Amino acid sequence: MKYEARMREKAEALRREGHALILSVESSCDETAIAVVEDGRIERANAIASQIDVHALYGGVVPEIASRMHVEAIDPLLDEALRQAGVGLDDIDAVAVTYGPGLVGALLTGVSWAKAFAYAADKPLIPVNHIEGHVSANYVAHPDLNPPFVCLVASGGHSHIVYVEAPGHYELLGGTTDDAAGEAFDKVARILKIPYPGGPLLDKLAEEGNDRAYEFPRPHTPGKYDFSFSGLKTAVINRAHHLEQMGETIDAKDWAASFRRCVVDMLVDKTLAAAKDRGASCIAAAGGVASNSLLRRELERRGTKMGFRVCVPPPRLCTDNAVMIGSAGFYRLMAGELATLDLNALPALEMFER
């Protein structure tokens, strides 16, 4: 029997059992990661090789360098993941891989590797959307969490508010009309001379600043649950240049705190409004920006006050990792979705039909 027909049978058997130990692969940007996840909920291994130090030299991700570093990192990560999980290849039931969105060369590394691995080891291959992966990190962080819930997804390239009806079933409630939240953090960090990646370091600096020291514009958006960061970002950058020209120095801590407050208020206001109007009882957050300390505190404080259960994964599961891909992959497998060996990387893959 051919590989693909054989895999359909294997996947069907796993679906009937409702159990699977999944080896998952993530390489969409500047982190190479392989994880082992049990039944979509239990983290058995989480091996990551970060390239941040190298890209920091250039002030941002250099796609060609990212692809090459993924190639170098991926094989040792397999050994590391199996070692952490205490399992052998035979124990793995299926392989899940991020096939988009992301940098095409970076994605291709993981996709090609996962296809070769799945074929050689005779395991079913599951295609995973990176953004759906971010949402699914919540299933690992909160094993009793089940949809429906409203999830704020905020990363370097995406900012959405999503109604999660069931794993794999999403309704887009709102999102950014221009820049992603992480992109805004990174660009404002640059004018504060904070090295790449700006978001986490700006967050640290902001912890020591006064968030009322500077008044920045609060943009209006046409959609009730939409956000816009481009105007705020431009205003913040222009004002910094203007002050510089006037010979005034800006207080980086206060600047960071005031900017962070604007972004976080916007994200939290809209998420809470969307959840309230949708009649949800639980709010979750996902993506790199969900590791922002003020965002976590404010969602928890204001969400709980409004009677929501608030779920946010620990920071290490908010930023890119393969555990989230293993969780999303499990639910895709249970829904009967498999990739064929002609799976390609889709850099602009969408999660929602607009």
Contact 227, 174 (CB under 8 A): yes
Which of 167, 175, 287, 303 binds ligand KG4 (CB under 6 A)? It is 287
| Cα–Cα distance, 198 to 344 (Å, whole number) | 31
User: Quick count: other Cβ atoms within 10 Å of Cβ 334?
Assistant: 18
Query: Listing from the earlier edge strand, what are the strands of the sheet with 42-50?
Result: 42-50, 31-38, 21-26, 94-100, 125-129
Which of 51, 129, 136, 155 binds Zn ion (CB under 5 A)? It is 155
Q: Which 144-163 positions form the footprint of ligand KG4 (CB under 6 A)?
A: 155-157
Task: Give me the residue label for tokens 């960061």.
Answer: 229
List of E strands, 3-89: 21-26, 31-38, 42-50
| Cα–Cα distance, 106 to 231 (Å, whole number) | 31
Counting every residue, how long is the chain? 354
- State the number of binding residues for ligand KG4 (CB under 6 A): 19
Residue 110 binds which entry of ligand KG4, Zn ion, none, with Cβ cut-offs from 5 to 8 Å by kind?
none
Q: Would you say the C-alpha torsion 313, 71, 328, 17 has a positive or negative sign?
A: negative
DSSP strand pairing (149-154 vs 159-166): antiparallel
Residue 319 in contact with ligand KG4, rule: CB under 6 A: yes
* DSSP-assigned letter for residue 89: G
Q: Which 306-345 positions form the footprint of Zn ion (CB under 5 A)?
A: 320
Residue 103 in contact with ligand KG4, rule: CB under 6 A: no
Which of 132, 186, 226, 254 binds ligand KG4 (CB under 6 A)? It is 186
Which of 100, 198, 219, 326 binds ligand KG4 (CB under 6 A)? It is 198
Residue 100 in contact with ligand KG4, rule: CB under 6 A: no
Residue 319 binds which entry of ligand KG4, Zn ion, none, with Cβ cut-offs from 5 to 8 Å by kind?
ligand KG4
Residue 209 in contact with ligand KG4, rule: CB under 6 A: no
Q: Which of residues 152 and 338 has its CB atom nearest to ligand KG4 in the complex?
A: 152
Task: Give me the residue label for tokens 């983290």.
Answer: 43
Residues that bind Zn ion (CB under 5 A): 155, 320
Residues binding ligand KG4 (CB under 6 A): 29, 155-157, 182, 185-186, 197-200, 203, 287-289, 291-292, 319-320
